Structure 1
Amino acid sequence: MSVRTAADHAVALGPRVARTLGLETTELEILPGGHSGLTYRLDAAGRSLVVKAVPPGQRPIGRHDMLRQARVLSALAPFGVPVPGVVAVDQDAPAWFAMELVPGESLEPVLDDPPVEPGLAAIRMRRAAALLPRLHAVPLEAIPLDGPALTPGDELARWSRTLAAVPPELVPGAAALQARLAARIPAGTAPVLVHGDYRLGNLLSLGEEPKALIDWEIWNAGDPRVELGWFGVFADGTNFPGVGRDVPGLPPEDELVDLATSGAGPADMPWFHALGRFKMAAIMGHNLRRHREGRHHDPAQEQLPATITRLVESGSERLG
């Protein structure tokens, strides 16, 4: 979706949003950085909102299903999980919903700019880990589930499909890591609500305080250890040579697991730490392939090969 197309869509969508919300203004400001659907800011009547919409020509499925995101956000409101409040939902095509704009930063300390002061980054990582039990305690019967819970094997298969679409030379060693993961898939645990991309880059923080968990594109019911393994990838800047930075003092992934599980020590965590790295390598390989094929021109993707290699190596190390 080009900026021009997004701007054209904003002009067309603005009056619909204004009518639904009873506002006079129709001006939607494009918010950069989103990869699923279109995201806009609306300032009117003394309040600021975020509007997420299905892109024109896209079917409202998967990461483009804005209404699915609105449903889970609305369901979470009574359970003390910090999420933006949903203000309005419009199911007519192209579907959209509006939610509160929560003040705060959603910065990944090892990846994003501006850099987060190391002491503050460490506090935010620990606060995010301590928030996970609240998310995972939400009763599944209160959530609008639209599919079966994913087992560890399902998660491996999901990201293996992503890897299968990537030329092997872009992800050296990933097939061997996939085989090692497949050979020792752990038994599943009781499923919980899983955000799917839980990290500081998707958690708005104001100072030390986590204010809102955002970007619910791939939520599902699943194994909580999948969430822990993914979160831990971002605790170590050495996983991202060439594209990231080392942040001194960040809590190691084992400490984050302890904080998220009250020291319960869930079984088979090395497998889930390896799975998180495999998932990231597959995603980055997919993005690099799209760039090189000209499907999404982004020269920054050429910085990824060293990181992909390191993620695969690190994942293999976690398996021993």
Structure 2
Amino acid sequence: MTLSERVRARLGAGELEVLPGGHSGLTYTFNGTYVVKAVPPGQKPVGRNDVLRQARVLRALQGSPVPVPGVVAVDEEPPGWFAMEFAEGEAIEPVLDEHPLTSELAHNRMVEAARVLRRLHDSGPVAGEPAVGVAGELERWSRTMHAVPASLRPGADKLLRLLGEDVPEDGPPVLVHGDFRLGNVLFTGITATAVVDWEIWSTGDQRVDLGWFLLFADHRNFPELGRAVPGLPSEEELLEIYDGHELPAMAWFRALGRMKMAAIMGHNLRRHREGKRHDPDQERLPPTIAAMIRSAVDILTWR
């Protein structure tokens, strides 16, 4: 049976339509009511293509204070797929996207996102999922950085050395989204309706998510890419909203978030230049890659 036939057998009459913007596996809408994610034919269900793993975390969060789409069908027969409810709302990253948001609305959404992240981490780890320690997180993204040509990551070797010299102790294991930011939270007005894009979730340290989320509070972190958004809460204000007091070693995790962003951008730029994924817009990334590495070194040197 084709994927369309398998979906119709579970969900009734309708047609699959490609959903723009999906980056994990194959992403479709079905009758405008459901979103369907499927493993691409001939591909192994690993990494971003492991859509059934995404279904598992969404099911684990059903009924929790964390808004997520409801899972309505899971089919584990290869190639696997699952269907979830189509969540209403818009996902806008104010410092990177063209958008109609007022400064007040952007501020309030950022504040609410910090509260949602707190509730996410308070939900506890997913049963049966092994924890990734801080050292393991550093090793993972260091490998990604090392795969980027040295010419595209100036100063990265010094940054990796600094990070490796002072790895913090692991905090209590929690559910980590891995890419938590406003661009991955659907909103209607100031209400968060769904946290989406769970491709790289894990069990690990809450500060990994925090260090990443805080990057998007300041457009100056993204030279030639960022847009000024007056009134966005600062990193310090977001930490206060999230936890109410200073978390240990946050400077290290802020630097880790910058290293991670530089590694991802460098990887994407390399793939473009090698012709593996043609996207001329990637040529705008070098100033931000360099700035991420430079500011991370500054954070670790001047804390």
Paired with 2:232 and 2:294, the residues of 1 have a C-alpha distance of 21
Alpha-carbon shift at residue 221 of structure 1 (Å): 0.8
1:20 lines up with 2:10 in the alignment: yes
Match of 2:249 among 247, 268, 271: 268
- Give 1:174's aligned residue: 156
In 2, are the aligned partners of 1:145 and 1:221 still within 8 Å (CA)? no
Q: Distance in 2 between matches of 1:56 and 1:244?
A: 37
Which of 148, 151, 174 is the equivalent residue of 1:192? 174
Q: Distance in 1 between matches of 2:245 and 2:134?
A: 19
Q: Which amino acid aligns with 2:240?
A: D
Aligned to 1:86: 71
Distance in 2 between the 1:106 and 1:90 partners?
Answer: 28
The amino acid that maps onto 2:47 is G
Are positions 1:38 and 2:31 aligned together? no
| Secondary structure of residue in 2 paired with 1:163 | helix
Alignment of 1:62-211 (within 5 A): 62-140=47-125, 143-146=126-129, 148-211=130-193
Q: Is the 8 A contact 1:67 1:97 kept in 2?
A: yes
Q: CA RMSD in A?
A: 1.4
Amino acid at match of 1:301: Q
- Once residues 100 and 65 of structure 1 are traced to their aligned partners in structure 2, the CA distance between those partners, rounded to angstroms, is 19
Cα offset, 1:139, TM superposition: 3.0
Distance 1:115 1:274 in 2: 31
Whether the 8 Å contact between 1:72 and 1:144 is mirrored in structure 2 is no
- For residues 131-168 of structure 1, what are the alpha-carbon distances to aligned partners after superposition, in whole Å with 9 as ceiling and x for unaligned? 1221111132xx2433x212221111110000111101
State how far apart, in whole Å, the 2-side matches of 1:129 and 1:265 are.
Answer: 15
- Structure 2 gaps of 5+ residues are none
Percent of paired sites with the same residue: 56
Residue 75 of structure 2 aligns with an amino acid whose one-letter code is D
Post-superposition Cα deviations, 1:171-214, rounded to whole Å, max 9, x if no partner, equal 11111111111111111111111111110111001111111001
TM-score (norm 1): 0.91
Distance in 1, Cα, partners of 2:70 & 2:283: 38
Q: Per-residue CA shift, 1:265-309, capped at 9, x if unaligned?
A: 111111111110000000000000000011111100000001101
Number of matched pairs: 301
Q: Is the contact made by 1:71 and 1:144 (CA closer than 8 Å) also made in structure 2?
A: no
Q: Distance in 2 between the 1:292 and 1:247 partners?
A: 32
| Regions of 4+ moved over 3 Å | none
CA shift for structure 1 position 99: 0.3
Checking the alignment, whether the CA contact within 8 Å between 1:89 and 1:97 is kept in structure 2 is: yes
